[in-house]
Amino acid sequence: MRGLLCLLMSFPLLASATDLTIAAASNYRLLLDDIVQRFEQAEQVDVSVIYGSSGKLATQIQHGAPYDLYFSANSAYMARLEQAGELTGRVITDGYGQLVLLASANSQEPFVRPLETLMKGKVVAIAQPKHAPFGQAAVSYLKSAGLYEQVSPSLVYAENVAQVMHMVRSGAADYGFVALSLIEQGTDAAQRMKILPLKDKHLLKQQHAVIDGTKNTKLAARFSHFTQQPEITQLKRRYGIEPENAEVKNGARGNGRG
Amino acid sequence: MAEADWQAVWLTLKLGVASTAILLLVATPLAWWLVRRSGWLAASVQAAVALPLVLPPTVLGFYLLIWLGPTGFIGETLESLGLNHLAFSFEGILVGSIIYSLPFAVQPLVESFRRIDDEQLQVAATLGAGAWRRFWTIVVPYCRGGFLVSATLSFAHTLGEFGVILMLGGSIPGETQVLSVLIYDHAEAMNYDAAHQLSLGLLVFSFAVLVLVYGWQKRSTKSETRLC
């Protein structure tokens, strides 16, 4: 018994301490993992990232979650935190996310037919619009395309955009509205997607800010600065996040991704 | 309460009642078999039945989504028979609930069946009572406490199910959006009033159900089945 107690007491000493904790919208995963790796090498620090839907993470921050930085997939949640006095320093705009319709591997249909015909009687997954920006963007797209009434009966709702990817990958959903930034180059998923032009691209304004009251303000500010380097801007483009003032071209993205 | 909230209440009750009914049908022969068998096979079956107690519900949800979907071995088989696959459907979360609550249905029955006097069954058999008759006239009355606890726990446990349904259901109003998932959605969207209302209702209801069962147990002289 005493041995067990000693073991439990020493556990915190064994656990590696994280220097910086980031809360980020799920669609940031590939980009941030890459940035974090570069930052850790440059600064010799340990950074951990918690991914979820923007709304969920914003709620957690308002309830005192111990995050140092917050990356959101739309500006509404950032504005809410700013008004609540949860942020310190400037809100940085990383660019604009792009909405993509991804087909599962077992749906043989190429995107040559109109979406209306494609989605008929199919299971279509979207992130929960109540708290996930890519879900809100998907609903907005469907409404502007006049498809919402027809598609809404066959919609299934995921916790966040990463879970939509899982639903489509597992074949449980035929189609899913996901983020371009979650589709890796050279994978077969990249061959089964269609970038959808949004009427209001501000729905997916990707922003980040440092959380007020963090003990790691300096390191958090350095990370924020690091994400604004020219090389990282190129990286964002490669991961499907369009920098500000860039023309979003349907069906193509920087560095030859398609 | 909004219409969607009432819809979730009815759907949750429907899921609870349906899974409890099916669980009783499945758990009764299974518990009977477990009580009368020993050896590695029985131990393996008992372990399989108890797995949902130790596995995170997300593990169940993860596998069930793959197996019940159109490319999984169950979903694909159903599709080849001209039926629909089970992901994102009421039938799918029903399968999930049955697996998730199976140990809660089986365990009280096992405890109850263990206490049956075999001599009584043998006497009834020599008097010419068939298996069905012995079951209905001896086992059911003698083990009604076990059946009640099994049914109540299955029902209450299904009400509280979350992780499996979150991964397998797709939060479809009227189809798979049960109370636990709707409360989660409300909380994430900061609709705290609605989340409070539903949570409090579920808390009071679950407590009342358990009080009834414990109260019945305390008063019952025939059955000494305990919940834990």
pLDDT of residue A109: 64
Q: How far is B54 from chain A (nearest CA, A)?
A: 21
Mean pLDDT of chain A: 84
Query: Quick one: pLDDT band at residue A108, thresholds 50, 70, 90?
Result: low
Q: Give kind and range of the element (H or E) at residue B31.
A: helix B3-36
Burial of A85 (0-12, 13-18, 19+ CB in 10 A): exposed
* Whole-number pLDDT of residue A187: 85
* Chain A residues whose beta carbon lies within 8 Å of the beta carbon of residue B68: 172
Mutation target to probe the B interface, by most B beta carbons within 10 A, among A74, A104, A122, A123 is A123
Whether B64 shows a pLDDT value over 60: the answer reads: yes
Crossing angle of the two packed helices B3-36 and B179-188, in degrees rounded to 10: 130
Confidence of residue A11 (pLDDT cuts 50, 70, 90): very low
pLDDT at A173: 92
pLDDT in tens, B180-216: 999 988 887 778 899 999 999 999 999 998 888 888 7
Å from B200 to nearest chain A CA? Answer: 21
Put residue B84 in one of left, alpha, beta given phi > 0 → left and psi -120 to 50 → alpha. Answer: beta
- Which residue among B70, B87, B170 places its CB closest to the CB of A157? B170
Instruction: Please compute the mean of the pLDDT values over residues B67-83 and round it to a whole number.
Output: 90
Interface residue A56 vs chain B (CB under 8 A): yes
Contacts of B199 (CB under 8 A, 6+ apart): B183
Q: Which residue of B has its CA nearest to A77?
A: B189
SS3 A197: coil
- For the cut 50, the answer to whether the pLDDT of residue A6 exceeds it is no
For B214-225, write each residue's pLDDT tens digit: 887 777 644 444
Does the predicted model carry a pTM greater than 0.95? Answer: no
Q: What one-letter code names the amino acid at B126?
A: T
CA B137 to CA B124: how far, in whole Å?
10
Please check whether residue B78 touches A, CB under 8 A: no
Residue A52: φ, ψ to 5°: -170, -170
| pLDDT above 70 for A12 | no
Higher pLDDT, B34 or B227: B34
> What are A155's strand-pairing partners?
A124
pLDDT digits 0-9 by tens, A130-140: 889 999 999 99
